[in-house]
């Protein structure tokens, strides 16, 4: 396949790996999967696979609302149930159990920061589900033993219990939704990102240009894009938001929007 339309080296490398997986799956008639893809890469890959009209794939992150996902390529002989039976062979869970003295002290940043500090491969790590008593970290199967071995070397985790769990034992994190209202001059994406990220409009444009904004799962780089009711906006580093209702206009003509924010 011709990748000359893609200018960024990282994009070409990502899509080349996808093409390799497609070829391996076809010639070996086996399931093939990538490491974890972030939201930008997921959008990139989905658009590419639509472009080449390839349909034998699933994106899966260990649970239904996962942000980071692996790409699973499958041959024609596999149906959905056969693929689901193999999820547990592809992904494992690293469970960190905190001591009672540390309950509630660690955030997502603490766990991810530890992995980064160890100079481990971020692509091997999926979502990190944080609880008061610890965290469940999704990882690709061949990385589980490495992470279990390395994490105790960090001071923050020296008094924790670390184990490898089957995917079926993943703890589900309760999704909490907070309703907020914003007032914007128009339904342009940059206006809405500015308010949701609590920053200036020029900074919001920078965030969009940095490919950190997704609308309904697709990376969006047009600041002028018009946002609609029920659109889901994700800003990397800021959260996920749903446009719930247009509640009216101010006297100056600004739009009042009710937003559901995942917290």
Residues 156-170 have pLDDT tens digits of: 999 999 999 999 999
Q: Is residue 36 part of a domain?
A: yes
* 100 and 77 together in one domain: no
In this structure, are 159 and 95 located in the same domain? Answer: yes
Neighbouring residues of 61: CB distance < 8 A, sequence distance ≥ 6: 36, 67, 68, 69, 70, 126, 127, 138
Give the pLDDT band (50/70/90) at residue 186: very high
The reported pLDDT for the residue numbered 229 is 95
Look at residue 98 and tell me whether its pLDDT is greater than 90: yes
Determine the pLDDT at residue 1: 64
pLDDT at 173: 81
Q: Does 76 share its domain with 103? A: no
Q: Average pLDDT for residues 137-153, to the nearest whole number? A: 96
User: Of 117, 136, 169, which marks where a domain is finished?
Assistant: 169
Tally of domains within the chain: 3
Whether 107 and 151 map to the same domain: the answer is: yes
Looking at 134, 169, 204, which one is the last position of a domain? 169
Domain that holds residue 98: 90-169
Of 138, 144, 136, give the one whose Cα is nearest residue 126: 138
Would you say residue 110 has pLDDT above 90?
Answer: yes
Q: What is the pLDDT of residues 2-28, one digit of tens each?
A: 687 888 889 999 999 999 999 999 999
| CA neighbours closer than 13 Å in the CB half-sphere of residue 39 | 22
| Residue given tokens 């659109």 in the structure block | 231
Average pLDDT on 109-132 reads 93
């Amino acid at each position: 396949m011709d990748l000359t339309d893609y200018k960024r080296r990282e994009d070409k490398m990502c899509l080349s790996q996808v093409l390799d997986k497609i070829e391996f799956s076809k010639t070996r008639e086996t399931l093939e999967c990538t490491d974890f893809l972030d939201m930008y890469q997921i959008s990139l890959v989905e658009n590419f696979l639509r472009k080449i009209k390839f349909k034998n794939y699933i994106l899966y992150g260990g649970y239904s609302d996962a942000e980071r996902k692996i790409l699973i390529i499958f041959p024609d002989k596999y149906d959905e149930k056969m693929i689901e039976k193999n999820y547990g062979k592809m992904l494992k869970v690293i469970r960190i159990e905190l001591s009672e003295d540390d309950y509630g002290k660690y955030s997502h940043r603490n766990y991810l920061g530890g992995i980064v500090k160890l100079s481990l491969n971020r692509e091997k790590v999926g979502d990190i589900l944080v609880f008061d008593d610890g965290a469940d970290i999704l990882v690709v199967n061949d990385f589980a033993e490495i992470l279990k071995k390395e994490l105790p070397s960090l001071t923050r985790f020296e008094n924790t219990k670390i184990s490898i769990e089957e995917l079926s034992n993943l703890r589900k994190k309760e999704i909490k939704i907070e309703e907020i209202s914003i007032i914007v001059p128009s339904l342009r994406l940059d206006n809405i990102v500015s308010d949701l990220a609590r920053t200036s409009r020029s900074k919001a444009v920078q965030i969009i240009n940095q490919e950190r904004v997704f609308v309904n799962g697709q990376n969006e780089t047009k600041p002028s894009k018009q946002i609609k009711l029920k659109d889901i906006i994700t800003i990397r580093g800021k959260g996920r938001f749903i446009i719930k209702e247009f509640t009216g206009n101010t006297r100056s003509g600004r739009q009042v929007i009710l937003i559901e924010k995942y917290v």
